[in-house]
Chains A and B, each alone.
Chain A
Amino acid sequence: MGGLELEQVVKHYRGAGEEVRAVDGVSLHVAPGEMVALEGPSGSGKTTLLLLIAALLTPEQGVVRYDGRDLAGLSERQACDYLLRDVGFIFQDFHLMPRVCALENASIKLLLGGLRLREAQAHARTWLERVDLGDRLEHTPEELSGGERQRVAIARALAGEPRLILADEPTGNLDSARSRDIVALLHSIAQERDAAVLLVTHDHEAALIADRSLTLRDGRLTEAQPGGGHPS
């Protein structure tokens, strides 16, 4: 079975003498080409789950697998390679380099992968055009709107052609119309590139666009409902 798999994953935090079960026996499978939305209130364990999937945390119990590989067994070097080659992260706050143009921002991951600048920028340009920013290549984040910034961030995450896209509240700073556009874009890319997308969001409207929508509460996946498919 390909894609992302979580089996009875448990992660505890210890704080103020109290044990908090941030993730409590979560099992989940996101298949290639599938987009799964993960909803839940603040403190429900969404970000911890993302960190476990990114191999930045190790579960106390259970297994996190990507393409059949147990992520807990990865060395630091292998974990870096996993993040570089297989994962694309998209953040709520965009995390773009200020005062650096969209083309350069979108090239960063490719450069990290060892591509020559010219090749990296050529590839990044394709992705920026794909997210409708072909005419904004030389614009810096300060000259772009919130939606445009997020699209640069998406282009940057996708330029490396990852097979697993982790989006942490990517629409948190956007209005609802732009949110829908962004999520729809991610959805279409997931299908087109056969990538697994895990979308962490507070926005129920956005979650409805995903193939499946799950809710995380107190570290448990308490509810699962079929996705709403594409927006009409």
Chain B
Amino acid sequence: MRPRMLVYLYRRRLRVHALQELLAGVGVAVAVALVFAVLVANSSISGSAGEVIHTIVGPASLQLRARTEDGFDERLLARVEQLAGVAQSAPVLEQSAELLGPHGRHITVTIAGADVSLAVLDGLAHTIPLRTLSSDQIALTKTSAARIGISHGGGASTVSLDLRGASYSLRVATVLGRSSVGALSQAQVAIMPLARLQRLAGLPGRITRILVQTKPGHQAQVRGELRTLAGGHLDVEPAGEDLALLRQALRAGDQASDFFAAIAVLLGFLFAFNAMLLTIPEQRRAITDLRLLGTHRSAIVRMVLFQALCLGLVASLAGLLAGYALSLGVFHQSPGYLARAFTLGTHTVVGLRPLLLSLICGLLATCLATTVLLLDVRRGPALDSAQREDGTPGQPLGRRTARRRLALVVGLLLALTTAGYVFLPGFALVVSFGLALTCILAVPLLFDLLLGCTDALVRHGDGRLSTLALALSSLRSVTLRSLVLAATGAVALFGSLALGGARVDLLHGIEGFAHGYVTGAAVWIDTPADYQGVNDFRGEQDSARIAHLPGVAGVRSFQGGFLQMGGRRVWITVRPADSSGAILRSQIIEGDPATAVKRLSAGGWIVVSEQIATERHLKIGQTLTLPTPTGPAGFRIAALSTNFGWSPGMVLMSPADYQRAWQTTAPTALGVTLTAGASATSVRSSIERELGPGSGLQILTARARESEIDASVSEGLSRLSDISSLLVLAAILALAAALASSIHQRRALLCELRLAGARPQRLARILFLETALTLSAGALTGALAGLYGQALIDSYLRHVTGFPVSSITATPRPLEILALVVVAVLAIVAIPARRASRVSPTLALGK
């Protein structure tokens, strides 16, 4: 068959069956949109951060980095510059701070202090406005400015900067757009001259990084020399190391999103298959006609594949556009909880991988869905059956043997997934995908069971159940389509419940952690939006002033920060031993909480996340060496815990150990305990008055801080929630569309029932019952598999990523989603069902 003929036949098909083709296309496009949006959203965080990092480091290949925000002596720069293999170097002081705009909007920014050498190194010297690095003002990137309500140019705007426990009012020197600083304009970053930031941060003569560009061929040599200079107190690493650390931090969330993308592909296939089933009667007749005209079977295969490819391509392209809009509209947000640890970009980055992957998924789903048609191209009775049948698609349920075999396969797959769950927790997401496939295969069995039960009910019921009996007969006549519809609902519910449920369990787990975390004090003082307590401030004097306030029993210092350790940005959290008990009781995975508290008090012991210990093959009692600012220091492991909600992992240690190894007493949070009968709210108010508005600190009651932690973590998980909701929405629309089309297509049968004397109301009831039975079979299968999937993902999060996950929570959510899908689809389908039930009986007689 010539290409021109292929095009002609497809155009003819489009003219006659444009609506069915459109429906099929919409199904594929919805799935591609979901897949693409998820993949783009995933890759955008690291992609945009990567662009920002590359802009900052420019051609630098190495960096010397401090292990705390306190930095190191800037005089080291001179020694770096003297190294023979160094071409260029630039000092940077980076601090995390809170920026408050003129309209009260605030954001967390990375504030960078730099001098001209950085602009020269980056190649931005000719584009960046001079006053950025030479005035006493602050320069904001376009994104930072926009988020606090400052328009392009900055004008005479003034912002408030909360930095290390002090608040400063600063004029905005300029707003840096893409033409000035490239991709950096998309990051939540503020820039000021190095010396100025050193003064404001109380870190005179200190820097946190030296970026180093080596001469060609000297990288290894320079790396060695830098290590010598670092003397075990600083990190020497690739200049773009932050990107690798960010990718590691995002891995758990990305894998969960990828899992959802895979579920979306499955759904896409089912959507397309549903839609294809609508067109199959006509297509089968067309194929039969072509064969009777003497068309070779291979030509028919080419025609079917050509039509599938055309449909798949157009639908996938539409899906890519919709997915891009979705990624901008719904998924366009950087996880705020990472902003303290990483400099993040904010723009959407569309890579080649998500593009190709989504396109291939769309094409594959369409081609696979058309394989049913190719059955008619076989030798044997296909031609005859296609001619003889009345055109209603669908094959009967398999015979008893086929069902037994199917049950065997489903049982086998369930056994395999269970084995995977028990023995390979690291592959839990792959196993979950296997479970989704099992769920599809289980649908015919549950469907059969449901029909059997309904049949038994009808047989033992009275005449009032005759409508149900009719619905059963009607349902059996379109079994394959009913099964595909049920499977679509099943997969959508499975995906939504599995990840949605796991998200709820994770949130409950985090709530448990947050409760234990704030238990150590009734009122907390820290820098704004720093729920992890990683930004220190000059709090010693504040502590003494607060201690004298009425209602205050004591003030305790909490410390912490981030530490690079084996490709992870680990959270170091430091608490007085007596306040660690509550948190350890809920977070310890291996070991005894009471013993762990005793060991922490004794010093030299730490509690560490299970996944960090597992990675290093360490057990309780063995020693973990930490690269502290004073050099490598060994600590014995007192117990293994969850990751405290921080995906790269956590180390808990005593204040004494931390102060010795980090050489700092600066607190990152102050915890206030109250005298008997004192109210946390009134003490909070009195502390606020005592510290005054310029403190740059936030004062929260334990309850408020707990809520803040919960909100921050929820924000990080919001994408999973969005995807979960989108899947349900897509499933509702796809199911409703497919059911409505199916009802429309069966008008001839409905006419016959009308001619037999069925009233429209009776027909509407039959259609309603059919729809309800189909949906119930799918929803029930999806709900059961979804609960199992939830357990699998919980297991993955708990054992592989180390998140604090509560055991499966008995929430009404599965029932809510189930009810939502069934009710919403029934409500939508009620309209076409009502129209179809009033179809004129004359249609049955060809009028």
Could you count the A-B residue pairs with CB atoms below 8 Å apart for me: how many are there? 115
User: Known: A116-B463, A117-B469, A142-B389. Is A100-B842 also a contact (CB below 8 A)?
Assistant: no
Residue B123 is within 8 A (CB to CB) of chain A in the complex: no
Interface 0/1 of B448-459, CB less than 8 Å to A: 000000000011
- Closest chain B residue, CB of each to CB of A114: B463
Judge whether B757 and A81 touch: CB under 8 Å: yes
Judge whether B756 and A84 touch: CB under 8 Å: yes
B477 touches which of A51, A94, A97, A118 (Cβ 8 Å): A97
User: Known: A47-B845, A81-B757, A109-B757. Is A116-B466 also a contact (CB below 8 A)?
Assistant: yes
Q: Within residues 792 to 847 of chain B, which ones have a CB less than 8 A from any CB in chain A?
A: 840-842, 844-847
Collect the chain A residues with CB atoms within 8 Å of residue B389's CB.
98, 142
A116-B385 Cα distance, complex, nearest whole Å: 34
Collect the chain B residues with CB atoms within 8 Å of residue A85's CB.
757
A117-B390 Cα distance, complex, nearest whole Å: 26
- Closest chain B residue, CB of each to CB of A46: B845
Judge whether B470 and A111 touch: CB under 8 Å: yes
Residue A168 is within 8 A (CB to CB) of chain B in the complex: yes
A83 touches which of B467, B469, B756, B845 (Cβ 8 Å): B756
Query: Which of these binds chain A: B315-323, B643-651, B746-754?
Result: B746-754
A51-B840 Cα distance, complex, nearest whole Å: 11
**Interface size counted on chain B using CB atoms at 8 A:** 41
Judge whether B466 and A56 touch: CB under 8 Å: no
Judge whether A83 and B466 touch: CB under 8 Å: no
Q: Within residues 56 to 82 of chain A, which ones have a CB less than 8 A from any CB in chain B?
A: 56-57, 76-77, 80-82
A105-B749 Cα distance, complex, nearest whole Å: 12
Judge whether A99 and B463 touch: CB under 8 Å: no
Judge whether B392 and A56 touch: CB under 8 Å: no
- Distance in Å: Cβ of A173 to nearest Cβ of chain B: 10
A111-B753 Cα distance, complex, nearest whole Å: 11
Collect the chain B residues with CB atoms within 8 Å of residue A116's CB.
461-463, 465-466
- Closest chain A residue, CB of each to CB of B845: A47
User: Known: A47-B847, A83-B757, A91-B752. Is A100-B469 also a contact (CB below 8 A)?
Assistant: no
A112 touches which of B470, B748, B845 (Cβ 8 Å): B470
Interface residues on A, range: 35 or more
Collect the chain A residues with CB atoms within 8 Å of residue B762's CB.
112
Judge whether A112 and B758 touch: CB under 8 Å: yes
A111-B757 Cα distance, complex, nearest whole Å: 11
Residue B479 is within 8 A (CB to CB) of chain A in the complex: yes
Judge whether B473 and A80 touch: CB under 8 Å: no
A147-B469 Cα distance, complex, nearest whole Å: 26
B473 touches which of A54, A104, A115, A142 (Cβ 8 Å): A104
Judge whether A80 and B759 touch: CB under 8 Å: yes
Interface 0/1 of B347-374, CB less than 8 Å to A: 0000000000000000000000000000
B756 touches which of A47, A77, A89, A168 (Cβ 8 Å): A89
User: Known: A50-B845, A112-B466. Is A97-B757 also a contact (CB below 8 A)?
Assistant: no
Collect the chain A residues with CB atoms within 8 Å of residue B388's CB.
142
Collect the chain A residues with CB atoms within 8 Å of residue B458's CB.
117
Interface 0/1 of A103-130, CB less than 8 Å to B: 0110111011111111010000000000
Judge whether A115 and B463 touch: CB under 8 Å: yes
- Closest chain A residue, CB of each to CB of B748: A95
Judge whether A97 and B466 touch: CB under 8 Å: no
Residue B301 is within 8 A (CB to CB) of chain A in the complex: no
User: Known: A95-B752, A112-B470. Is A80-B479 also a contact (CB below 8 A)?
Assistant: no
Residue B171 is within 8 A (CB to CB) of chain A in the complex: no
Collect the chain A residues with CB atoms within 8 Å of residue B329's CB.
none
Judge whether B392 and A111 touch: CB under 8 Å: no
Residue A87 is within 8 A (CB to CB) of chain B in the complex: yes
Collect the chain B residues with CB atoms within 8 Å of residue A120's CB.
466, 469
Collect the chain B residues with CB atoms within 8 Å of residue A211's CB.
none
Residue A140 is within 8 A (CB to CB) of chain B in the complex: yes
Collect the chain B residues with CB atoms within 8 Å of residue A140's CB.
396
A132-B493 Cα distance, complex, nearest whole Å: 48
A56-B752 Cα distance, complex, nearest whole Å: 13
Judge whether B394 and A112 touch: CB under 8 Å: no
Collect the chain B residues with CB atoms within 8 Å of residue A76's CB.
759
- Distance in Å: Cβ of B35 to nearest Cβ of chain A: 34
A94-B388 Cα distance, complex, nearest whole Å: 12
Residue B476 is within 8 A (CB to CB) of chain A in the complex: yes
Residue B543 is within 8 A (CB to CB) of chain A in the complex: no
A120-B841 Cα distance, complex, nearest whole Å: 24
- Closest chain B residue, CB of each to CB of A96: B390
- Closest chain A residue, CB of each to CB of B470: A111
Residue A93 is within 8 A (CB to CB) of chain B in the complex: yes
- Distance in Å: Cβ of B125 to nearest Cβ of chain A: 77
Judge whether B459 and A117 touch: CB under 8 Å: yes
Collect the chain B residues with CB atoms within 8 Å of residue A91's CB.
752, 844-845
Known: A100-B473, A109-B757, A114-B463. 4 other contacts (CB 8 A): A100-B477, A114-B466, A117-B469, A140-B396
| 5 A-B residue pairs with CB within 8 Å | A81-B757, A89-B844, A95-B748, A112-B757, A116-B463
